Structures are given as structure tokens and as C-alpha cells.
Amino acid sequence: MEDKQIVDLYWERSERAIHETEKKYGRYCHYIAYRILENREDAEEVVNRTYLKAWDTIPPHRPELLKPYMGMLARQLALDCYEKQHAGKRDGTVALAIDELNECVSAPNGDGDPAEALALREALNRFVGALPTKTGKVFILRYWYTCSIAEIAENCDMKESSVSVLLLRTRKKLKAFLIKEGFDL
């Protein structure tokens, strides 16, 4: 079934919307949640919540691309779950990814404000949108999908060492970009 038809089902408040979403994007959402939580049951719980969140947010939203929309919901919910479980201490692939991103900043902790968070999101969109296609894909696979280096290498037909080097360079570029954009690092 096409995304538009599934979204229409949500708008019609048809229960079938959830069945169709599960059929088409269930494994995708599970993948995203599992990469973050690394626990099957927690990932399943998050995927369940993802369907419910989609039910609650469509309408009013009408996503043109349902796949990344579901992925975004799953990622967000998985991250909330992860933070709840790992308050004060971090481990797993997410911790590694965050540690890598901490290289872009000089003070890893501190208080911020919502406006800055929004500005950061916009800046990140500009930054990633301007990256060469392959670099952008590698960056997103690592920091959006939380893929391991080996998985990225497999997905992009690259050597693991090449992936690591590419990510290192991209993080450096990101740091320079954020400084140029006036962020307080």
C-alpha cells in the first residue's frame, strides 16, 4: 500500500492504518529502536509506542514520507527510553556515537535553552544537506540510525577504516561549521 493511502487511513481514523504501517515499516522501526536500546523487548515496546504516537499525531500531521516520519518517532521514543534507563551512566552504541559527537564540542555538559536547540537542529539540517551524498549517508547512518561502523561499511561498500576516517573528518567539519554558525561550544 502506498504511503499516501496509509496516511489517509490514519486520517479516516481506521484501525487498519496501524496494521498497514506495521506491515510496511514495522521492521524498519524495530531496527531503529533496537540499534539504540539493544534489547528486543524494549525495542518492541518502543515500536508499539511508535504506532500509538503515529495514531496520535496523524492527524493533524500529514507526512508525505511516512517511512522517515515513523523512523523519527521510533528514534525519539527509543532515545527517551534509553535516557530513562541510563540516567547518569551511558553504554552501548548510542554512548559511543554521543562520545564521538562530543569531539565537536569543548564542554560536554551544561544548561541550554530551547531556542538554541531549535537553532542547532536547523544548523544540522543545513550541514548534513550540504554534505556530498556518500558522506551524508555515512553520517546519517552513524548518528541518525546509530549503525555500527561495520554495518555502515557493508551498507556503503566501504572499508571500515575508510568509514572511520570519513566520520572523523565530517565531525571536524561539523565542529568548524557550528563555530562559524555562532554556537557556544
- Within 8 A by CB and 6+ apart from 33, the residues are 42, 43, 44, 46, 47, 50, 74, 75, 77, 78
Measured from the CB atom, is 151 or 160 closer to another protein?
151
Q: What's the closest the beta carbon of residue 165 comes to another protein, in angstroms?
A: 19
Closest CA to 70 of 22, 2, 132: 22
Q: What's the closest the beta carbon of residue 50 comes to another protein, in angstroms?
A: 9
Exactly one of 92, 101, 160, 177 binds another protein (CB under 8 A); that residue is 101
Q: What are phi and psi of 171, to 5 degrees?
A: -65, -40
Per-residue interface string for the shown chain with another protein, residues 13-32, x marking contact by CB under 8 A: xxxx-xx--x---xxx-xx-
Exactly one of 93, 158, 173, 183 binds another protein (CB under 8 A); that residue is 183
> In this structure, are residues 185 and 179 in contact, taking their beta carbons and an 8 Å threshold?
yes
Q: What's the closest the beta carbon of residue 172 comes to another protein, in angstroms?
A: 14
Question: By CB under 8 A, is residue 162 in contact with another protein?
Answer: no
Exactly one of 1, 92, 162, 164 binds another protein (CB under 8 A); that residue is 1
Rounded distance, CA 169 to CA 171, Å?
Answer: 5
Rounded distance, CA 85 to CA 88, Å?
Answer: 9
Exactly one of 99, 159, 161, 172 binds another protein (CB under 8 A); that residue is 99
Query: Within 43-62, which residues bind another protein (CB under 8 A)?
Result: 43-45, 47-49, 51-52, 55, 57, 59-62
Rounded distance, CA 106 to CA 30, Å?
Answer: 34
Exactly one of 92, 93, 120, 177 binds another protein (CB under 8 A); that residue is 120
Binding residues with another protein: total (CB under 8 A): 96
CA distances from 36 to 23, 108, 171, 176 (A): 22, 20, 20, 27
Q: What's the closest the beta carbon of residue 176 comes to another protein, in angstroms?
A: 14
